[in-house]
Amino acid sequence: MEIKPIFLSIKHNKAIAMLVIIQVAITLTVLSGSLLMTTSTLKEWNLPSGIPHNNIISAVPEFYDLEVDVRQSLVDDLARIEAITEVINVSPVTQRPFDAQGIQTIYLEASAEAQEYETNIFTGDANLPEVLQLSLIEGRFFREDEIVVGQRDELPAMPPIVMISEAMAKVLFPDNNALGQTIWLEKGAAPAEIIGIYSNFMNGENLNYFGQSYRTILQPLVTWQNRADPSYLIRVEDGMADGLLETIRNQLYKVDGRYVNRVEVLTRTQKRMYDGRGSHAIMLLVISSVLLLITAFGMAGLVSFLVTQRQKQIGTRRALGAKKWDVVRYFMLENGVLTTIGIVIGLVLSIAFAFVLTEDSGVNILDMSYIFATAFFIILVNQLAVYLPAKKAANVAPAIVTRSA
């Protein structure tokens, strides 16, 4: 066995052994730290949207002249947008997918201490399921005559019916069929009956952050309350969305006293929802991979030095009958011992580092499986960095010893 000579040689080259150990330990700490941060940032990242977001345009105009007749301009807007040939369907809404503001709470009972369920409520006319291309799972969609239209504070009554998403149905009624049940969208308000269940679509950043991306409720309601209501969701023919943005903007500007804030394809809304997290994670990943590269090169450089130093020793061993593989194995084993010691120290440091990060951010990011995976990966890279120069060294001709002596 080679263990004994390896320890002797490590004892002989204490400085280099220390360097390798420290390097492995710190690399493991930094790598696993940034990996843990990356995975915690990317949790719930880029989930399926559930809608053909490439073909849906969201338009958010805003009235700065409060005298404008919103009801009339709503009719005009819809007529003008529908007149565009490439437009398939349009619906006036107050929230858009990927962009749901805040978190709304709903209840299963009227009582004051009823349990709260978090969701996002989307409003729209009968076209909305068609615009979003939602598929019906149970029940039915809204009918034209069920849509309530009006200014928020002047509505005679809220619509007595709602539709809910599949994910919402599972949360509210895990054991029963949700269809036909009643829910309360506000405490003390009239209840609403669930008339249909539709396929999931993404609500927005707020609930996504809590892993509740697909909790949504549709209300058959066309309403406006503040200057930015209503906005429009417009589904257009495949591939036409980008070319239509300017046209739609100009159509909306035909109403005076209005500012057209944002006309964009929902793909961009989706990008905006994720981009803060995405850019942060990518930055960490780039740093981590450069670090790994540097470590690997450093390790290779170090081993090639060790190897050149021991050419004679290798030659002697070869002359005494050691196979090439024996020499390679020796170096790999030596590096393996050092790396393992480094890994053990690194594990302790990594856990401590993860604790500090957790305390800073308030989110528990410690996940041992990532730390072990990083450790395994470092061993792999190091072994590879040793293998290449060692293999070259093993090619030393056995006779070299005799020659140089």
Partner 1 sequence: MFAYNLKLAFKSLNDRPSLTILMVAAIAVGLGLFMTMLTLSHQAGKIPMPHISKQIHLVQLDNREVTADEAENFNQMVDLTYQDTQNLLKLPSAGVEQTLAWNTNGILNVEEQEIQPQRSSVVATNQAFFTMFEVPFLYGEGWDSDADQFSQAVIVLSKKSNDYLFGGINSVGKQVRLNTHVLTVIGVLDDWFLARKFYDRSYYQAWPDQAFIPSNFAFDSDLPRNARFDCWSTTTNPGKFRTNYLTELKTSECAWITFWAKLPNHNLEDYKTQLGQYIDSQKRLGRFPRENQYFLTNINDQLEVISNMIGREQMLGVISYMFFAVCLINAVSILLAKFMRRTKEVSLRRALGAKKRTILQQHLIEVVFIGIIGGLFGILFSYIGLQAMLRVSLYASDYVRTAADLMPYHQMDWEMIMMAFTVSVSCTLLVGLYPIWRICNVSPASQLKAQ
Among 53, 96, 268, 318, binds partner 1 (CB under 8 A): 268
* 118 three-state secondary structure: strand
Beta-strand pair 104-106/161-165: unpaired
Minimum distance, C-beta of residue 60 to partner 1, in the bound complex (Å):
11
Under the criterion CB under 8 A, does residue 209 sit at the interface with partner 1? no
φ, ψ of residue 31 in degrees (nearest 5): -60, -50
Which residues 6+ apart lie within 8 Å of 80 measured at CB?
A: 251, 252, 254
Distance from the first to the final alpha carbon of the chain? 27
- Residue numbers 29-88 binding partner 1 by CB under 8 A: 29-30, 33-34, 37, 62, 64-67
Minimum distance, C-beta of residue 146 to partner 1, in the bound complex (Å):
31
Among 126, 137, 149, 287, binds partner 1 (CB under 8 A): 287
Span of 117-125, 135-143, 173-181, 264-272 interacting with partner 1 by CB under 8 A: 264-272
Among 179, 245, 291, 400, binds partner 1 (CB under 8 A): 291
- Residue numbers 299-338 binding partner 1 by CB under 8 A: 301-302, 304-305, 308-309
231 beta partners: 93
Closest CA to 94 of 258, 265, 229, 270: 229
Here the tokens at position 168 are: 């919402």
Under the criterion CB under 8 A, does residue 402 sit at the interface with partner 1? no
If binding means CB under 8 A, how many residues of this protein chain bind partner 1?
52
Closest CA to 119 of 194, 54, 208: 208
Among 280, 324, 329, 391, binds partner 1 (CB under 8 A): 280
Find where tokens 């159509």 sit.
Answer: 251
Rounded to whole angstroms, the Cα distance separating 309 from 231 reads 74
Rounded to whole angstroms, the Cα distance separating 268 from 102 reads 20
Residues near partner 1 (CB under 8 A): 15-16, 19-20, 22-23, 26-27, 29-30, 33-34, 37, 62, 64-67, 253, 257-261, 268, 271-272, 275-276, 279-280, 282-284, 287, 290-291, 294-295, 297-298, 301-302, 304-305, 308-309, 357, 360-361, 404-405
